[in-house]
A and B are shown apart, each in its own frame.
Chain A
Amino acid sequence: MSRLYLARNPRVAARALDGEMMIMSGRDSTLFTLNKTATIIWQSADGSTPLDEIVERKICVEFDVERSAALHDAESLARELASHEILQISEQPIPPRNPAGESR
């Protein structure tokens, strides 16, 4: 099975507050609030760490879930975030572009 790599879209605005990650699309100003799993995926999406590693090292540890189920859910979530252009996904590592708009 191919691995999936994720990178934050540097063209969105992102901010963490009270443990919630909020992201605004630069394209149409839509505001998204990420749940805990999506926040972990967003924060770990550095373009070089494959999703299965993110799931194994962070999501499974945080939520005590079974790896294959967690990976399936994480892939669905990543694809949904990509559909809103919040994340880029690729089967190859994604080289860094501009710094992400995230700040705290």
Chain B
Amino acid sequence: MPVRVNTTDPEFLAMLQERYAGFVGSAERADMEFDVDLAPPRFSDPEADVRVTRSQGRWLLERGDFRAEWSPALRRGWVRQSANPYSIDAVLRIVHTLVLARQGGFLLHSASAIRNGRAFLFAGVSGAGKTTISRLAPPDATLLTDEISYVRRQESGYIAFGTPFTGELAKLGENVSAPVAALYLLAQGPENRIDAISSAEAARRLLANVLFFAEDEELVQSAFHSAFEFVSRVPVSQLTFVPDARVWELIR
């Protein structure tokens, strides 16, 4: 989903090019376009909750360090922030959750990697092991992300894409994609093993890991039903692992 970012500040542009290295392209057509209006830094609470609301067909995104607006109909928006990469990163994540929700996809708190042409997702809250399993990935696995997986719905199933949204590993994913073969819900334990879970449990735990910011009933309904659709099509199980590369012997 090509995103065009317009700025008149060359230093900010260079900052973004470095931040999103590997994901910078020259597509003629953009699915989203943002004008960035840089403002002087001001005090803001980095822990402040983000607010995402809809009014007259436009989404308003607000956090201590930015204000932004996104029009789905026009596929355009603006961001007002200081010259830092974190604010626009948050805006892009949020807008992608809005766009994907309409299409039956989502951003998921999960690491993901491609192996043998198939994508595997490893979901869990902070501390569950997303960074660890990413770090243990063998050379033949292509890391898509260690933090936020990008999942799109297609007619034949689901596709996972690499993202520049990093976690503790601070390593960008590869800009590639593959059909989703499985979702593993991470748990750490004394041995490596995969356990089946019920569809209801799978849906509940998937929903707990879907990134969702909007205070919007229609979008909540979309995200809710998308999660059930996903678990009806993609195998979901629990992956218990010790911090040992042998866990990847189970992921093929």
Contact = CB atoms under 8 A, between A and B. Distances in A.
Interface in A37-71: none
A11 B225 contact: no
B23 interface: no
Interface in B174-228: 198-200, 203-204, 207-208, 212, 215-218, 220-221, 223-225, 228
Given A18-B198, A20-B200, A29 B220 contact: yes
A24 interface: yes
A33 interface: yes
Contacts of A4: none
B221 A26 contact: yes
A77 interface: no
22 contacts: A11-B217, A13-B221, A15-B203, A15-B228, A17-B199, A17-B200, A17-B228, A18-B199, A22-B200, A24-B220, A24-B224, A26-B216, A26-B217, A26-B220, A27-B215, A27-B217, A28-B215, A29-B220, A29-B223, A31-B204, A31-B207, A103-B225
Nearest to B214: A29
Interface of A: 11, 13, 15, 17-20, 22, 24-29, 31, 33, 101, 103
A50 B26 CA distance: 63
Given A28-B215, A103-B225, A22 B203 contact: yes
Interface of B: 198-200, 203-204, 207-208, 212, 215-218, 220-221, 223-225, 228
A91 B121 CA distance: 49
A15 B218 CA distance: 15
A8 B110 CA distance: 34
A24 B200 contact: no
A62 B217 CA distance: 34
Given A11-B217, A18-B198, A101-B221, A33 B204 contact: yes
Nearest to A25: B220
A11 B228 CA distance: 18
A15 B221 contact: no
Contacts of B218: 26
Contacts of B215: 27-28
The 10 closest A-B pairs by CB, nearest first: A26-B217, A13-B224, A18-B200, A20-B200, A13-B221, A17-B200, A24-B224, A26-B220, A18-B198, A17-B199
A33 B198 CA distance: 14
